[in-house]
Structure 1
Amino acid sequence: MALSPQWLDELRSRTTLSSLIGRTVKVQKAGREFKACCPFHNEKTPSFTINDEKGFYHCFGCGAHGDAIRWMTDQRGLSFMDAVKDLAAEAQLVVPAPDPRTAQRQETRATLHDVMAAAQDWFVTQFNGIEGAHAREYLKNRGISETTVRAFGFGYAPDSRGHLKDALSDHGVDQLVEAGLLIKVDDREPYDRFRGRLMIPIRDPRGRVIAFGGRLLSEGEPKYLNSPDTPLFDKGRTLYNLDKASPAARQTARILVVEGYMDAIALAQAGFQDVVAPLGTALTEHQIERLWKMVEAPILCFDGDNAGQKAAMRAALRALPILRPSYSLNFIALPKGQDPDDLLRSAGPQAFKALIDQPQTLADKIWQVELNAAPLNTPESKAGLKKRLSDHVRDIADQDIAQHYRQEFQERYENVFFSRHDNQARQKQFPRPKSTFKSQYVSLTPMDDTKSVLVDGYSMRIAKAILGGLIRHPSQISKHFEELTMLQFPDSQMQGLLSELIRTAMRKEMLDMQGLLTILEKTDCYNVAKGLLRADALNFTFNRRLPELAPSDFVERAHHDLAEAIKVITARPGLEAALAEATRRVQENLDEESYAEQQRLRKAKQEFHERLVELTQIDDVV
């Protein structure tokens, strides 16, 4: 859609900004301008200025600034085009259409909007009439006030197969079917979809009715029925109450997500305006992305029963692949068997606020669910927990976030099963030789035991060189997190140093050698680290002291060789195991295929050895 600057200027000139803002904010005349308390931050003295002549607002407190379109996007939470369309409709301007097909779709949608608006008016009329007495009584018994009834537009669909069809006959049967108000099966006569139900309008971010939810008031199933997907309504992308919650969330910097619209309505009545709900489905990736446009960590407040907690976990797992830095989900655990409405009735709004003030993080939620999934009284069940956590980490696409989750779950796992008390008990039973190394580090064994790489005597020299290289080049630690967590030293001093290097790199991304040594100086790893820096026999490029202003290609060579060394030490055990298995198969059944595989693996092992020799060659240029 091509919107020229001239057309947008005309739209702004036809909009009285003070009147637009005055619909939701109390404004007062101040000379040729208007003033108000800023809606974008909490203040008692007005510092928010509106200038109708220039067509902009500005807050001298928080710096918020914009025109009528910016107001609609920032305060109302609309998209740019939705903001333009709303303002254009009020200004009686026609929004340019890009092509005939799009124009036709827009015309169809506009017609369906008219149909849905007419249906909403008719449902409200029935609610306030004689047939709606049962619906009014139901809401009264649930403690829903008349103010809330009007604000959320409750209606009633009579228990009839044709009342709505007859009432809206002017719109045509085809339009009513397309809007999801009638059901048409084969060549049979279409009939009303909603019958004998309390009707709840579902609105888009602009506040227009696009669908309905119906709550059955008699015995039967389903208790709740939503409109089907239509040109206006996609239940996997729509959030109930978003039109009201979006501007409220800008005030609170928070968004609450509950399971259903009745929970959202009850919370809104109790003062929690920043609340939305999915519509009969588990929270989808599209809905999560929509929530992230408002806040970085939405709070999921699902019911305390098993179904509610399963829904919360499904949402958690759907979020993992799309996590990005700073954006996550938070959770609250409602009392068992209660939904938000139950908690409000039994303990009041303060009890609910206390819960949302201390939410559970996404990592906490996944850990808690998996920890409680089964008894952990055997080695096999404990390994099962470890595998489940590892599987969840592998679902995270962002590798930086995945590494932090891997480390977080690993430390929690070891704190539960390998606590200091347990270690002391094992040391009494299986005492180790005395060591001067006293650091109480947390072992960083990998989450997946099948990928553990034990550093044997053959590999120890390479492993020590790698540790020394990481100290000289700390920027490389984070680039090899995955491989480094696979390494297991039989020497507790070396394992402790490796753990400390990884932990330090995770806390501080920008780190040089001197800064790293300063941190290590406060630990028992310091002497070990200094010893590796002085080791004369470690003739790898990445172990050598480079000139203060070393050329970039020398540094790049050291980094490349360090990566190669890490690859060699982590791949060699698997390569040797594969070669041993291939040799066994050749001895049992000598054929061309098994012999070729054995020779291929022998060649690969030789190439690894030759690469190792290359790495240790002294380069006189350096």
Structure 2
Amino acid sequence: MKKYISKKFINNLVFITNITQFISQYINLKKKNKYYYALCPFHTENKPSFIVNNDKQFYYCFGCNEHGNVIDFLMKYNGLDFLRSIKELALFNGYKNIPIKKNKIKYKYNINIFFKLINNVGKFYHKNLYNKNNYIAYNYLINRKLKKNIINFFKIGFASNSNDIINIFNKKKNNNLELLKVLGLITRYNNKSLKDFFKNRIIFPIKNISGQIVGFGGRSINNNFPKYINTMDNFIFSKKNNLYGLYEMYKLCKKIKYIILVEGYIDVLTLFQHGIYNVVSTLGNNINKIQINILFKNSKNIVCCYDGDQSGLNAAWNMLKLSLPYMKDGYQLKFMFLPLKEDPDSIIRKYGVLYFKKILNNAEPLSIFFFKMLMLKINCNSIEGLTNINILAIPLINKIPNKTLRFNLRNKLGKMLNIPEEILESLVSKNFIYNNKRFIKIKYSNMKLLISLLIQNPILFKVIPNKMLRIFNKSKILGIDFFINLIYNYNKNNYITTGQLIELYRNTKYEKTIKLLSIWDNMISSDLIKCVFIDIFYNLCKYELEIKIDKLILKERLEGLDNKQRILLWYFTKKLLEISK
């Protein structure tokens, strides 16, 4: 059954959070006048363009257009889903228990209970590996040339065929069974009996940077499909937010000169066993921006290790494209490709660690791999192929913040394709873009200006007489329904900030409009905002009244009016005279 947190709780959470204090945990904010400034964490820049407005509980970056409230920041910065962001925010504000609703019944989940339970399950799996009845699993690891000290260091375990965690962790009359379901450690089989999700699999605990187990990877020992599975996303785990071996790397590496990115759990274990500790792997999925951000936060130099087949090239190309915005001064990205059907584990077992290091030392720099792949994608012998440069190469090069690297790539591209500098320059956008986002331009109109002023200055709702809103009944003015809806919610909540407003309209048809208008530059000085707002509102009232009066007068001439319509005409005329005075 679907679980959710009440909007009232979320709205209160946003209201009590000091957004400046919260964001300052992640980035260095400096106060200037009434705002706080910082280098934007969402794109690379040299001058601060990221501002935080404490009064409105809102942040905005003039460089990349990222904006929102404190929940949006958590979701974007840490790559958390909405529910996990709420939990993080609740913990920041001292809430240990979060009210989770389920079919209108409240459940209180303490996040520490999840950590305690999953770590206990991890200990059980590890102990279970050494159970004499599970010799097949232990022998599998030994046959892969893994030593006992590495198995113990990573706490590798085994989930046997007998659903042990259900039997062991559900002995007491507590909520463990429900918690195991939430963590995705048990699942229902054929809609009947429960079973261990990782049944009959080698278990690889996935830890956060603090060393707490947050999830598991499971490998089939009999090659059943799928060969590898991971814990499903839940309260404490998200596959796209984690890298395997990150905690262990920090534990053993005194200084991380560079990080090797591999594709498998066993590859990490084998490299660790041979003294190469600066290695992590994805969790069986394609690399994503969040994981790349984690990599570059931990080292300026990344070496990606891929198979030499087509799928390996595709994975490397994807990595390159996603990494370009991180290529600041001093940052490097390299690619090493292994022989076909080989991985780091098999290479080391066959040829030794020295051979692997030799391949590692010959890793291709980003620039070489970039042009190698580009030449495979562009047909230089046709005009159509050369046209693709504008589509493929130039936008990618423009993502690089390092001016020297960007210039050298463009220069080399021109020489390789024998394109004169002036022609290549014409293909390059004059405006340097860090993140390929197109800003949506909002056309100027009275209605949009009125709504944007109200969103950015919620206190203005108090100057609108509720009786005046009645004249807009069945109005065809575009946006008037949204404006009235805003006034209704402001009245209902007495006063809410821009940050709370974003939360109130999250997942509604108005969410995008609110976010856009909340950052729209109205070009109106602060001392004139109230006057302009009132003036626009009453001009709209006049416009609407004139339309309604004209329609009623026309109808009276053509077919006459009944008593109700005459009263309306009198009322509209009276209101128009009052406004015009």
Shift in CA distance, 185/404, structure 1 to aligned 2, threshold 3 Å: farther
> Residue 325 of structure 1: which of 325, 329, 332 is its match?
329
Q: Distance in 1 between matches of 2:409 and 2:331?
A: 19
Q: Secondary structure at the match of 1:302?
A: strand
Whole-Å Cα distance in 2 between the matches of residues 159 and 313 of structure 1? 40
Which of the residues 95, 99, 102 maps onto 1:101?
A: 95
2:296 alignment counterpart: 292
Q: Determine whether 1:223 maps to 2:207.
A: no
Would the alpha carbon gap of residues 247 and 159 (structure 1) be closer, same or farther in structure 2, given more than 3 Å must change? closer
Distance 1:451 1:283, change over 3 A: closer
Residue in 2 that maps onto 1:349? 353
Match status 1:167 vs 2:171: no
- AA in 2 matched with 1:272: I
Equivalents in 1 of 2:150, 2:328: separation in Å? Answer: 37
- Superposition deviation, residue 481 in structure 1: 9.6
3-state secondary structure, aligned to 2:184: coil
Inter-partner Cα distance in structure 1 for 2:355 and 2:336: 12
Following the alignment from structure 1 to structure 2, what is the Cα–Cα distance between the partners of residues 481 and 291?
25
Gap change, CA 1:339 and 1:376, over 3 Å in 2: farther
Residues of 2 paired with 1:219 and 1:277: CA distance? 21
Match among 157, 160, 179 for residue 158 of structure 1: 160
Please give the per-residue CA displacement for 1:375-407, whole angstroms capped at 9, x wherever unaligned: 65445434435642123224x174xx3x54553
Q: Is 1:444 aligned to residue 448 of structure 2? A: no
Structure 1 residue 329, shift from structure 2 partner = 2.3
Match of 1:113 in 2: 115
**Contact 2:256 2:299 survives alignment (8 Å):** no
Post-superposition Cα deviations, 1:468-498, rounded to whole Å, max 9, x if no partner, equal xxxxxxxxxxx9999xxxxxxxxxxxxxxxx
CA distance in structure 2 between the partners assigned to 1:448 and 1:342 by the alignment: 47
C-alpha contact (below 8 Å) 2:257/2:301 kept by paired residues: no
* 2:422 alignment partner AA: T
Q: Does the 8 A contact of 1:244 with 1:274 survive in 2?
A: no
Q: 2:396 aligns to what?
A: 392
CA separation in 2, counterparts of 1:246 and 1:212?
Answer: 19
1:235-278 Cα offsets, whole Å, 9 max, x none, are: 11111111111244442422111112111111111110111111
SS of the residue corresponding to residue 203 of structure 2 reads strand
Cα distance between partner residues in 1 of 2:428 and 2:303: 36
Determine the structure 2 residue equivalent to 1:538: none
Q: For 1:189 and 1:348, locate their aligned partners in 2 and report how far apart those are by CA, in whole Å.
A: 47
Aligned match of 2:148: 146
TM-score, length-scaled by structure 1: 0.49
Match of 1:125 among 117, 120, 127: 127
For the residue of structure 2 that corresponds to 1:447, the secondary structure is helix
Query: Residue 164 of structure 1 aligns to which amino acid in structure 2?
Result: I
On the 8 A contact 2:308/2:340 being kept in 1, the answer is yes
Counterparts of residues 521-536 of structure 1 (less than 5 Å):
none
Structure 1 stretches lacking a partner, 5+ long: 3-78, 80-95, 419-441, 453-478, 483-622
Q: How does 1:500-515 map to 2 (within 5 A)?
A: none
Looking at structure 2, the residues matched to 381 and 329 of structure 1 have their Cα atoms a distance apart, in angstroms, of 27
Letter in 1 for 2:166: K
Deviations 1:164-201 (A, max 9, x none): 21121146211111222112589754321111111111
Question: Is the 1:258–1:277 Cα contact (8 Å) retained in structure 2?
Answer: yes
Instruction: Note closer, same or farther for the CA distance 1:447–1:249 as it changes in structure 2 (3 Å cut).
Output: farther
Unpaired segments of 5 or more residues in structure 2?
A: 1-16, 19-77, 79-89, 100-107, 434-581
Q: Deviations over 1:351-378 (max 9, x none)?
A: 2222333432222222211223366544
Q: Does 1:262 align with 2:260?
A: no
The one of 235, 238, 242 aligned to 1:238: 242
Secondary structure of 1:372 counterpart: helix
- Alignment of 1:283 with 2:287, yes or no, is yes
Give 2:50's aligned residue.
Answer: none
Aligned length: 336
Question: What is the rounded CA distance, in whole Å, between the counterparts of 2:255 and 2:428 in structure 1?
Answer: 49
Specify the alignment match of 1:407 in structure 2.
407
Structure 2 counterpart of 1:259, which letter? E
SS of the equivalent of 1:293 reads: helix
Amino acid at match of 1:381: G
Question: In structure 2, which of residues 243, 254, 257 is the aligned counterpart of residue 253 of structure 1?
Answer: 257
Match of 2:241, SS state, is coil
AA partner of residue 421 (structure 2): L
Of all paired residues, the percent bearing the same amino acid is 23
Contact 1:183/1:192, CA 8 A, preserved across alignment: yes
CA distance in structure 2 between the aligned counterparts of 1:159 and 1:294, rounded to whole angstroms: 39
1:166 maps to amino acid: N
- Greater RCO between the two (CA within 8 Å, min separation 6)? 2
Corresponding residue for residue 9 of structure 1: none
For 1:247 and 1:127, the matched residues in 2 are separated by 24
Q: Distance in 1 between matches of 2:230 and 2:165?
A: 16
RMSD: 3.3
Counterpart of 2:132, as a letter, is I
User: Which protein shows a greater Rg?
Assistant: 1
CA deviations 1:539-562 (Å, max 9, x no partner) are xxxxxxxxxxxxxxxxxxxxxxxx
Rounded to whole Å, the distance in 2 between the matches of 1:378 and 1:480 is 28
Equivalent pair of 2:96/2:110 in contact (CA under 8 Å)? no
For residue 179 of structure 1, what is the aligned residue in structure 2? 183
Query: Given residue 157 of structure 1, which amino acid in structure 2 is its aligned partner?
Result: A
Q: Select which of 299, 307, 319 maps to 2:311.
A: 307
The structure-2 alpha-carbon separation of the partners of 1:271 and 1:481, relative to structure 1 and needing over 3 Å to count, comes to closer
Aligned residues of 1:259 and 1:303 also touching (Cα < 8 A) = no
- Alpha-carbon distance between aligned partners in 2 of 1:189 and 1:448, rounded to the nearest angstrom: 66
SS at the partner of 1:276?
strand
**Conserved? CA contact 1:156–1:199, under 8 Å:** yes
- Cα distance in 1 for residues equivalent to 2:241 and 2:428: 40
User: Is the 1:387–1:447 contact (alpha carbons within 8 Å) kept by the matching residues of 2?
Assistant: no
Q: Please give the alpha-carbon distance, in whole angstroms, between the structure 2 residues aligned to 1:341 and 1:219.
A: 17
Alpha carbons of 1:383 and 1:448: their partners in 2 closer, same or farther (altered >3 Å)? Answer: farther
In 2, the alpha carbon distance for the partners of 1:159 and 1:374 equals 52
Asked whether the equivalents of residues 298 and 330 of structure 1 are also in contact (C-alpha less than 8 Å), the reply is: yes
Equivalent residue letter for 2:209: P
In structure 2, C-alpha distance between the alignment counterparts of 1:249 and 1:303, rounded to whole Å? 26
The 1-side partners of 2:432 and 2:142 are apart by 59
Counterpart of 1:190 in 2: which secondary structure? strand
What aligned pairs does 1:29-48 form with structure 2 within 5 A after superposition? none
Tell me how far apart the structure 2 counterparts of residues 149 and 481 of structure 1 sit (CA, whole Å).
Answer: 49
Residue 251 of structure 1 aligns to a residue whose secondary structure is: coil
CA–CA separation in structure 1 for the residues paired with 2:406 and 2:420 = 13
Cα distance between partner residues in 2 of 1:292 and 1:358: 21
In 1: Cα distance, 2:221 partner to 2:309 partner: 23
1:318-350 deviation digits (Å, cap 9, x = unpaired): 122444333342222222332111221222111
Supply the distance in 1 between the matched residues of 2:407 and 2:423 (Cα, whole angstroms): 9
Separation of aligned partners in 2, 1:353 and 1:451: 39
Structure 1 counterpart SS, 2:316: helix
- Which residue pairs with 2:4 in the alignment? none
1:212 corresponds in structure 2 to 216
| Aligned-partner Cα distance in 2 for 1:107–1:174 | 11
Question: Are residues 380 and 209 of structure 1, via their aligned partners in 2, closer, same or farther at CA, if it must alter by over 3 Å?
Answer: same
